[in-house]
Chains A and B, each alone.
Chain A
Amino acid sequence: MYRRAFTGAAAAVALSVGLAGPLAADDDRFITVQSTTSTQNSGLFDHILPIFQDATGIEVRVVAVGTGQAIRNAGNGDGDVLFVHSTPAEEAFVAEGNGVSRADVMYNDFVIVGPPSDPADVAGMEDVTAALTKIAAAEAPFASRGDDSGTHKAEMRLWAAAGVDAAAASGEWYRETGSGMGATLNTGTGMGAYVMTDRATWIAFGNKGDYGIVVEGDPRLFNQYGIILVSPDAHPHIKADLGQQFVDWILSADGQAAIAAYEVDGQQLFFPNAGG
């Protein structure tokens, strides 16, 4: 009796594995893109990828993580294309032989958002380092990504430029969430902290509460995105041909137009600048 039951259980498992199997194999006309949470959470990929797929028949599978993790994943060969926003780290990736070459794709900018009470009195400031200095002097809560992402790296460069050792105040007014942009915004708005975010994520973010942008417009808040084909020399199994088609399309007039056409609440989120 029990033997039959076990055979039955084994058959059921074999059947369900069989059901899961075809999903895994599917077909080979897809590429994996290691990218960042800002491009995914803002809805950009949902807008442009169907256009690319219609044009080429290539499915794009996006793994959206922080820039640091995306670069490490791609460095392990777990992606065909890297699409992130930290130019120095991207150039290092290519220099190490992991990528073929790097090209500018688009930009947006970072902003600092804060509560209406504005405890450090920085609302309306344009000079970002002066604003950060005031936040540090007031010891007003500041929520940082703290996760080695592109946004975190940019924030660290700005603290350094302001001459503030924010990490020394970690756990006090400087709070490292160690998580993605959206999670950090959820945390930051919950604790009344200032948060530096890319504008695209902020505009598309659904839990703004009474927060608003307090600092924007400094040229140092410029946020450049780049695209890199993972090197088939370093990682022979990657789909260099399909990946190159994606890179070429993103940098083409069609791809750039698709990026420019993406809007949330009537605001353009990313500004194409390939070949610039």
Chain B
Amino acid sequence: MESFWGILSEAFTLVLSWDPDLVEIVGLSLRVTLTAVGIACLIGLPLGAVVGAFRFPGRGAVALMLNALMGLPPVVVGLMVYLMLSASGPLGVLGLLYTPTAMIIAQTILVTPIIAALTKQVVEDLYAEYADQFASLGVGLADRVGALLWDARYSLLTVALAGFGRAVAEVGAVMIVGGNINHVTRVMTTTIALETSKGNLQLALALGVVLLTLAVLVNGAVMALRASAVRSAYA
């Protein structure tokens, strides 16, 4: 069995060699996942805020659905998107199957419930403090959502990171809708799966270390951003 240090040094060598294939794969991973998380935030943040801050019929059911959908298995999402985008599916004419766009769609579906459900929780707690003030000032619906999201923005960064973590780590959905096509739809996780199936366990683990490092860098960047924003807000 490969030694721990062997794997670490292989990961290190991989990064240092700046192998163009690896750079391409890392770049596509980031592009697909960040785009999906971005879209999921555009949908999930307002959705979560509305569910968190307003009482309407069926609210409990919507909240329950959002929580339940957080547990969507990626492979099921992949299958659903495959059936939609397949040439014999309803959206087949778009020709999106086996493209990065298909992978973005699948990850967006996967991440949106997570963003929405966590946003709902954050906003709900905040709303308890703000409700009287909103009522006395007669603040309208859209402004309430906006104010709540804005004031919760630092907590919502963590929400976005939770979505990023889910998307960047999943392999089941992108494998099915992307097809793991070399130079077209191959990302970090599908490469790790492929190298594992070739029996190249050391290379697969080294790629895993690279992926982990990537996640640390993204999280670190967001936390640094948050820290400096908090400092300037209270300066």
Contact = CB atoms under 8 A, between A and B. Distances in A.
A23 B100 contact: yes
Interface in B162-214: 179-182, 184, 194, 196-201, 203
B86 A76 contact: yes
B198 A9 contact: no
Interface string A7-24: 001101100110111011
Interface residues of A, number: 43
Contacts of B28: 23
A208 B200 CA distance: 10
B97 interface: yes
Interface in A14-47: 16-17, 19-21, 23-24, 32, 37, 40-41, 46
A78 interface: yes
A213 interface: no
B86 A77 contact: yes
B115 to A, nearest CB: 12
Contacts of A62: 181-182
Nearest to B96: A24
A182 B98 contact: no
B199 A185 contact: yes
Interface residues on B, range: 35 or more
Nearest to A42: B198
A162 to B, nearest CB: 28
A122 to B, nearest CB: 23
Given A2-B150, A61-B179, A205 B92 contact: no
Between B88, B147, B199, B203, the greatest number of chain A beta carbons within 10 A of the residue's beta carbon is seen for B199
Contacts of A237: 87, 92-93, 95
A23 B179 CA distance: 15
A20 B31 contact: yes
B104 interface: yes
B146 A3 contact: yes
B149 interface: yes
A63 interface: yes
Contacts of A61: 98, 179, 181-182, 184
Nearest to B200: A206
A175 interface: no
B199 A208 contact: yes
Interface string A222-241: 00000000000001011000
Given A3-B146, A78-B98, A182-B197, A17 B180 contact: no
A185 B95 CA distance: 35
Given A23-B99, A61-B98, A62-B182, A181 B197 contact: yes
A263 B93 CA distance: 40
B35 interface: yes
A182 B99 CA distance: 25
Contacts of B221: none
Contacts of A78: 86-88, 97-98
Given A16-B34, A78-B86, A63 B198 contact: no
A150 interface: no
Contact of A207 (B99, B150, B199): B199
10 contacts: A5-B153, A13-B35, A13-B39, A20-B100, A41-B198, A63-B179, A73-B86, A182-B196, A207-B200, A235-B88
Top 3 A-B pairs ranked by shortest CB distance? A182-B197, A207-B199, A77-B87
